[in-house]
């Protein structure tokens, strides 16, 4: 198992180096620049040259990349031209909001997708199976922002059951030592703050987790159907083993590899793809931060934010890759 882990960790070096090159090149390929965004109509060649010299944009491209890579290793992504704060500090303050929202969406997707997919597979071609297929297709087809507006209109505007925007009621006094509002309420003994944070998480979590829920349901259903028809499952049934034992030892464990892969990919996508959800619900996480940086041509934020999100995506999928060795021992021997 140790060699298996070391091999996977060594693969991170070329992956992250390649990511840094792609991110640096992508940001430089965007039209306009920070000087144009800052100066606007007041832009003149002289003022533009001053801004570019101030941020080192007049240096050769390889010098800019070397400086960017050196800072990235030290987790120093420069200073935002819009907030005048270090990008690393902005990420630390905003990333917990995105993690909390992604965790809510993932909990909804995994908690609903795996049981639904398994139940649909065990009732193959029944009305329940057909309904799960239709609903999963609807879940994949409906855009996240459209579903978010529907949820807000129904549960916040019409019924008034849940809040529509933000992470917590502004009138509620609460401390946030970690930035994770639900956890902060528990740590500080302010359970009312935790409950309020959970209420604010419900609608954006449902909207964000709708597509992963549909995907996980379909993959679980297909995987369980495939495993159920294997010889070792039929052999276990002929031996008189109970349904619970067959499900736990033979069906679910062997069906989980593709499901875990999908969960890992969806986790990375949730962390990086919550832009629309955060904008609709005024969440104030990384998605909103990156959205604003695109329009302000904030190179430092774009470079640091994209690279950080890509790093998180790679780490999540590394953990998924390592989990294969625990689910299926045959993977460790490769």
CATH number of the domain encompassing residue 147 = 1.10.3720.10
Q: Do 35 and 107 have their domain in common?
A: no
Q: Do 148 and 64 have their domain in common?
A: no
Q: Do 156 and 228 have their domain in common?
A: yes
Note whether residue 220 is domain-resident.
Answer: yes
The stretch 118-137 carries a mean pLDDT of 82
Q: With bands split at pLDDT 50, 70 and 90, how would you rate the model's confidence at 30?
A: low
Q: Do 288 and 205 have their domain in common?
A: yes
Instruction: Specify the pLDDT at position 32.
Output: 62
Q: What is the mean pLDDT of the chain?
A: 78
Instruction: Specify the pLDDT at position 272.
Output: 65
Note whether residue 294 is domain-resident.
Answer: yes
**Category of 282 on φ-ψ map: left (φ > 0), alpha (ψ -120 to 50) or beta:** left
CA distance 143 to 279: 14
From the list 100, 115, 102, the residue with the least C-alpha distance to 265 is 102
Supply the Cα-derived Rg of the chain in whole angstroms: 24
Instruction: Specify the pLDDT at position 87.
Output: 84
- Which one of 73, 105, 125 terminates a domain? 73
Please tell me whether the overall predicted TM-score, pTM, comes out greater than 0.85 for this model: no
Q: Do 274 and 317 have their domain in common?
A: yes
Q: Do 38 and 167 have their domain in common?
A: no
CA distance 56 to 36: 15
Centroid of chain to Cα 22: 20
pLDDT tens readout for residues 233-259: 667 667 666 666 667 666 777 777 788
Whether the per-residue pLDDT at 193 is higher than 80: the answer is yes
- Which one of 73, 99, 119 terminates a domain? 73
From the list 96, 73, 7, the residue with the least C-alpha distance to 289 is 96
Q: Do 182 and 263 have their domain in common?
A: yes
φ, ψ for residue 79, nearest 5 deg? -120, 135
Place of tokens 């965790």: 103
Q: Do 44 and 110 have their domain in common?
A: no
Q: Do 117 and 196 have their domain in common?
A: yes
Whether the per-residue pLDDT at 140 is higher than 60: the answer is yes
Place of tokens 């209420």: 199
Place of tokens 């990375």: 268
Q: Do 138 and 246 have their domain in common?
A: yes
DSSP conformational letter for 75: T
Note whether residue 243 is domain-resident.
Answer: yes
pLDDT more than 70, % of the chain: 81
Q: What's the number of domains the chain is made of? A: 2
Q: Do 127 and 190 have their domain in common?
A: yes
Centroid of chain to Cα 265: 9
Compute how many other C-beta atoms are within 10 angstroms of the C-beta atom of residue 108: 20
Q: Do 222 and 95 have their domain in common?
A: yes
pLDDT more than 90, % of the chain: 0
- Residue 334's SS3 state is coil
**Where in the sequence is the domain holding 66, given as residue range(s)?**
2-73
Q: With bands split at pLDDT 50, 70 and 90, how would you rate the model's confidence at 329?
A: low
Note whether residue 83 is domain-resident.
Answer: no
Note whether residue 84 is domain-resident.
Answer: no
Give the pair of three-digit tokens for residue 78: 């420069």
Note whether residue 27 is domain-resident.
Answer: yes
Between 77 and 7, the more confident residue is 77
Note whether residue 81 is domain-resident.
Answer: no
- Which one of 28, 47, 73 terminates a domain? 73
Question: End-to-end distance of the chain based on CA atoms, in angstroms?
Answer: 11
Give the pair of three-digit tokens for residue 92: 């630390």
Instruction: Specify the pLDDT at position 54.
Output: 67
**Residue 88 near residue 77 (C-beta atoms within 8 A):** yes
Note whether residue 114 is domain-resident.
Answer: yes
Instruction: Specify the pLDDT at position 121.
Output: 81
Listed in sequence order, the residues at least 6 apart from 19 whose beta carbon sits closer than 8 Å to its beta carbon are: 307, 310, 311, 314
């Amino acid at each position: 198992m140790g060699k298996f882990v070391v091999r996977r960790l060594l693969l991170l070096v070329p992956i992250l180096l390649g990511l840094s090159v792609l991110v640096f090149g992508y940001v430089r390929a965007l039209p306009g620049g920070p000087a144009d965004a800052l100066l606007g109509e007041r832009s003149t060649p002289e003022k533009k040259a001053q801004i570019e010299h101030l941020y080192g944009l007049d240096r050769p491209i390889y010098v800019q990349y070397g400086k960017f890579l050196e800072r990235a290793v030290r987790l120093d992504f420069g200073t935002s031209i819009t907030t005048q704060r270090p990008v690393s500090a902005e990420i630390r303050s905003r990333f917990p909001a995105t993690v909390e929202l992604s965790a809510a969406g993932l909990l909804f997707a995994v908690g609903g997708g795996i049981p639904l997919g398994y139940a649909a597979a065990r009732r193959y071609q029944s009305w329940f199976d057909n309904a799960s297929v239709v609903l999963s297709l609807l879940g994949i087809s409906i855009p996240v922002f459209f579903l978010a507006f529907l949820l807000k209109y129904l549960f916040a505007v019409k019924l008034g059951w849940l809040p529509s925007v933000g992470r917590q009621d502004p009138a509620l006094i609460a401390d946030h030592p970690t930035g994770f509002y639900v956890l902060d309420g528990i740590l500080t003994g302010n359970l009312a703050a935790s409950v309020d944070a959970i209420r604010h998480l419900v609608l954006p979590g449902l909207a964000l987790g709708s597509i992963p829920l549909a995907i996980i349901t379909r993959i679980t259903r297909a995987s369980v159907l495939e495993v159920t028809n294997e010889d070792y499952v039929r052999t276990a049934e002929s031996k008189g083993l109970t349904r619970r034992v067959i499900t736990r030892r033979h069906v679910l464990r062997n069906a989980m590899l593709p499901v875990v892969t999908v969960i890992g990919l969806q986790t990375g996508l949730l962390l990086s793809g919550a832009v629309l959800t955060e904008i609709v619900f005024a969440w104030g996480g990384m998605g909103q931060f990156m959205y604003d940086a695109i329009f302000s041509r904030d190179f430092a934020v774009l470079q640091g934010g994209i690279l950080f999100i890509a790093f998180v995506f790679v780490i999540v999928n590394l953990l998924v890759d390592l989990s294969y060795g625990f689910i299926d021992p045959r993977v460790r021997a490769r």
